[in-house]
Amino acid sequence: MESQRRSIGDDSSISPELDRLIRQRGRDLRLRKLDQQNAVKIVNHLIESLLEFLKNNDDQPFFREVSVLTSGSYYEMVKINKPNEFDIMLKLKVPRLVLSNLEEYQGLFYKINLFKATQTEIQHFLLEDERTVSATKIKAEMHRLVRKFINNHFQGEGWVIRRNLINSPAVTLELKLKEKGNDVMSVDIVPTLEVPQGWPQAARAGPNIDKWLGKKCRRQFVSKSVYFVPKRPKGRNLKDDAKESWRISFSHIEKEMMQYHGNKKTCCETHSNKCCRKLCMRLLKCLIEGLKQQYPKELEPLCSYHGKTAFFHVLSDRVQDSLWSPGQLSVSFMKLFGYFEQCAINGSLPHFFVREHNHFSPPAFPKRALVFLTNALREQRELGLPVLKVPSPTSALVPDTEAVIHPITGTDSIVASDSSFKHVYIYLLVVIVCVGIICVFQK
């Protein structure tokens, strides 16, 4: 099996057709600058107005001093197709906090308590023990404030709030872009707690980037604050602590790694030293989204973060910038694809920062979904990645020959045969001649 993984992505395993497909799809995934400018203008106006509203709101002072932390694929410059999804983290000002790891979740979920009792505004979001910060209370209040903001300041402008999902930390706003054929733009607003006093023990070693970005960079990352978002684990019959838990987030570190992604710090600063790392990530996102569109139920647990995690692992292994030159796009992408497929086969995709946590373990990723993903990835590899192909539009004027040969049972054939087309043309010609004769006699 290991030898099979090594062969995936070798020059000999990539046909000219597959090479052309990867390169063409990579070009198609780029965002148009005009679309980006228009989208950012809309989002910036929304967020600036929300911050002003929160700063001046009278009924909830705790949310007055929030600050913005942008995250997600758009700000990491790996968004594909359209700039239609934005992630905005709103950092809440909090006193000193104490973290308690929920052991059954391998360092990813935490109970958060106040270091000491307080009379500050956060007291309204504590549980009965007056120390535990309630994730559900803060998320519910964020949802209420955003709804009030939209009703008061953006009424009739098209923004709607999506239904609150129990396993999502975000309040999601959606806007239909009528000038774009009713395309939908979404903005995820996530209340966030900042903990500056050091990373928890499960993540203390930091990401495995010594050979890629360097030991100094890893130490700088670990010295930064860490963030927590109000997200509970997946699964049924959760304990009370799990229902009120906070999930650790490294989105600020991930964005920085995406920005300074080269082994040499000058990678992608000029046209002469461009690399294909981010393009490989976009292609993997495209493949994951394509599979989820084909099999939404079977691959419901799969998300782009699985692809991003695999991407970081591959970057930390293939560290040399020369391995990621634009001319190596197809080989580099197939190496990434091969690693992701092998993770599915082994049932092991370690979290890049919390190494004990496996993204491919139940209940977050059920065994049945993992088996389906493994088979889907194998099929994609054997068939030459058909999910990356863009379907060519079928002209409405071209008859469907399959429908002619095999008409739909119980109905008239939708497409006329060649002889029926001739009859239609003769009929129209007769009508035109008759109308012409009538006009002549009327004159």
Whether the per-residue pLDDT at 98 is higher than 50: the answer is yes
Q: 409 in a domain, yes or no? A: no
Is the bond preceding 363 in cis, omega lying within 30 degrees of 0?
Answer: yes
Q: 71 in a domain, yes or no? A: yes
pLDDT of 236 reads 85
Q: 438 in a domain, yes or no? A: no
For residues 80 and 173, membership in a common domain is answered with yes
Residue 109 main-chain phi, psi, to 5 deg: -120, 145
Q: CATH number of the domain that 239 lies in? A: 3.30.460.90
pLDDT of 411 reads 30
For residues 189 and 44, membership in a common domain is answered with yes
For residues 13 and 55, membership in a common domain is answered with no
For residues 119 and 221, membership in a common domain is answered with yes
Q: Kindly report the three-state secondary structure assignment for every residue of 122-178.
A: HHHHECCCCCEECHHHHHHHHHHHHHHHHHHHCCCCCEEECCCCCCCCCEEEEEEEH
Q: Which amino acid is at 354?
A: V
Domain edge (last residue) among 218, 234, 260: 260
For residues 78 and 95, membership in a common domain is answered with yes
14 lies in which domain range?
1-29+264-391
For residues 11 and 40, membership in a common domain is answered with no
Domain edge (last residue) among 391, 408, 437: 391
Whether the per-residue pLDDT at 132 is higher than 80: the answer is yes
Mean per-residue pLDDT over the chain, rounded? 86
For residues 64 and 192, membership in a common domain is answered with yes
For residues 194 and 333, membership in a common domain is answered with no
Chain segment 380-415, per-residue pLDDT in tens: 999 999 999 976 443 333 333 333 323 323 333 223
Domain edge (last residue) among 391, 412, 431: 391
pLDDT of 430 reads 60
For residues 21 and 68, membership in a common domain is answered with no
For residues 16 and 86, membership in a common domain is answered with no
**Is the pTM higher than 0.85?**
no
pLDDT of 412 reads 31
Q: Which amino acid is at 322?
A: S
Q: Count of domains in the chain? A: 2
